[in-house]
Amino acid sequence: MLLFYFSAFALLALFIAAGVVVGGRGGKKDYSLGGRKAGAAGVTGILLGALVGGASTVGTVQMAYGYGMTAWWFTLGGGIGCLMLGLRFASQLRASEITTVADYLEKSYGDRGKAIALAATVSSSLGTFISVCAQFLSCIALIRGVVPIPAWLAALVAALSIWGFIASGGIKSFAALGEAKIIILCVVLVTCAAAAAFRNGAAPFVDLSFQPWFNVFGRGFFPEVGCLASMIVGVFTTQIYLQSIAAAKDIRSARAGAFTSALLMPQMGLLGCWIGLTMRASGVDVSPDKALSWFIANNFPPLVGGLIWGGILITVIGCAAGLILGVATNISKNFIPATVKRKYEGGGRVEQLLVTAMISIAAFCAIGGAGSMILEWSFVSMGLRGSGTFLPLIVAILRPGALPPSWALASSAGGLAAMLLWAALRLPSDPLFAGLALSSLCVGTGLFHAKNKRK
């Protein structure tokens, strides 16, 4: 295994060093938006770099091995969200030249804008942080799948790697290396899927029944639709995803990047499902969270296996980096006083300190959740981000000025509160449905009253 470890960590060190070099070019103004110079490939790199990480790789193989094709909902829903973003919303978001979701809401809803922006920032930041924890869970699973170390030590390795990736680069290095990361991931997943087909063929799938292994609604219609809904609302309300649109050099690049992401993401998920199902069909008995690491270590020569494993780890680290950058931007712009940001080099230093704090907290949270189902964390994360923010944001983009600010605030705060309360009371069905139901009721009522008032 010495060759395995050497090739894996050599690739990881090379990637981190490249991020430092790329990120060191340019000024601090590039930290959050990269100077708004990202082309279509750069937008795709940022968007997929943050969307495709531990959940799309380790988590998808884990759930496919344990439950079957239901694991596809994360990448399929993410692809649909990107498609919707490119079709109708990327143009308006890029033309507005606004950095954060909260900024857009504040500008759109006048005197109640600050309160709505606050609710959006809280839900987005909390939900995104849960996703960061999911990335740490993926890192821990990957590392412990090939190295017999305790969870706390694996979390420490992950934390240092993530910090090293983004400490000096911000969005600029994330965009540039995000493109390389997606290429690496595509090659890795195709290689793994080909190895699974070569070793086991399609014959073992005959032993797997349609239910639950090949039924995308294997755990029930409403739970799976809830997963899809959480992905769509999450894509529209997560800071780093919309930040990728804001970083585009023009509207055409923003739309092209969203469309490319929509095309690639579901296919990556299918490859992960193929790997997990192949392992299940061949009778491999392993802890589900370590399924991907086991597959790589046992199906490739050590030198090649190390490179493939390292490529997956880079994907997870890059995803965590993007999500953390998004939360740091949100908090810095909406909670840190301007006087403090001016004192610390225009805010760049503040964001770097926030990044370090979030990495530390997420590592501790992941240690306690090691071994749990990664995609479950991710779906909760996505739903929480969009439960109250999604509908007010969509109305602000599609029908500016149509929704009264007071009803927008009720929709935002009510949707978030309803989801949290539903989850706290452990009521049946997905808590996201409760949040979206109350949020849509407030939006519908507000639009109705506004229309009658204009008559």
Q: Are residues 44 and 103 in the same domain?
A: yes
**pLDDT above 60 for 189:** yes
Q: Are residues 365 and 444 in the same domain?
A: no
Q: At what angle do helices 374-386 and 221-237 cross, to 10 degrees?
A: 60
**Structural domain includes residue 382:** no
Q: Are residues 315 and 398 in the same domain?
A: no
**pLDDT above 70 for 221:** yes
- Averaged over 63-86, what is the pLDDT? 92
**Structural domain includes residue 381:** no
Q: How far apart are CA 248 and CA 179, in angstroms?
A: 14
Q: Are residues 106 and 221 in the same domain?
A: yes
Classify residue 146 by burial, with Cβ atoms within 10 Å: 0-12, 13-18, 19+: buried
Least confident of 161-170, 222-231, 303-312, 382-391: 161-170
Q: Are residues 84 and 219 in the same domain?
A: yes
Q: Give yes or no for a contact between 6 and 310, defined as CB atoms under 8 angstroms apart.
A: no
- Averaged over 402-429, what is the pLDDT? 91
Domain CATH for 232? 1.20.1730.10
Q: How far apart are CA 410 and CA 248, in angstroms?
A: 32
**Structural domain includes residue 375:** no
Q: Which long-range contacts (CB under 8 A, 24 or more apart) does 9-12 make?
A: 9/310, 10/310, 11/306, 11/307, 11/310, 11/311, 11/314, 12/161, 12/310, 12/313, 12/314, 12/317
| Peptide bond just before 302 cis, omega within 30 deg | no
Q: What one-character-per-residue DSSP string does 92-114 give?
A: HHHHHT--SHHHHHHHHSGGGHH
**pLDDT above 50 for 322:** yes
When divided into structural domains, the chain yields a total of 2
Q: Are residues 311 and 454 in the same domain?
A: no
Q: Are residues 329 and 419 in the same domain?
A: no
**Structural domain includes residue 378:** no
Q: What is the DSSP letter of 71?
A: G
Q: Give yes or no for a contact between 239 and 329, defined as CB atoms under 8 angstroms apart.
A: yes
pTM value is 0.85
Q: How far apart are CA 12 and CA 447, in angstroms?
A: 52
**pLDDT above 70 for 33:** no
> 335, 369, 403: which is the final residue of a domain?
369
**Structural domain includes residue 172:** yes
Higher pLDDT pick, 166 / 279 = 279
> 306, 339, 369: which is the final residue of a domain?
369
Predicted confidence at residue 432, as pLDDT, reads: 93
- Run of H or E residues at 454: helix 431-454
**pLDDT above 90 for 136:** yes
pLDDT in tens, 77-110: 999 999 998 887 877 777 776 667 778 888 888 8
- Averaged over 180-200, what is the pLDDT? 79
**Structural domain includes residue 103:** yes
Which domain does 139 fall in, by range? 2-369
Q: Are residues 312 and 173 in the same domain?
A: yes
Q: Are residues 117 and 179 in the same domain?
A: yes
Predicted confidence at residue 31, as pLDDT, reads: 46
Least confident of 176-190, 196-210, 288-302: 196-210
Q: Are residues 277 and 414 in the same domain?
A: no
Nearest to 116 by CA among 105, 132, 126: 105
**Structural domain includes residue 274:** yes
Q: How far apart are CA 436 and CA 236, in angstroms?
A: 14
Q: How far apart are CA 264 and CA 383, in angstroms?
A: 22
Q: Are residues 355 and 391 in the same domain?
A: no
**Structural domain includes residue 145:** yes
> 369, 395, 414: which is the final residue of a domain?
369
Q: Are residues 262 and 323 in the same domain?
A: yes
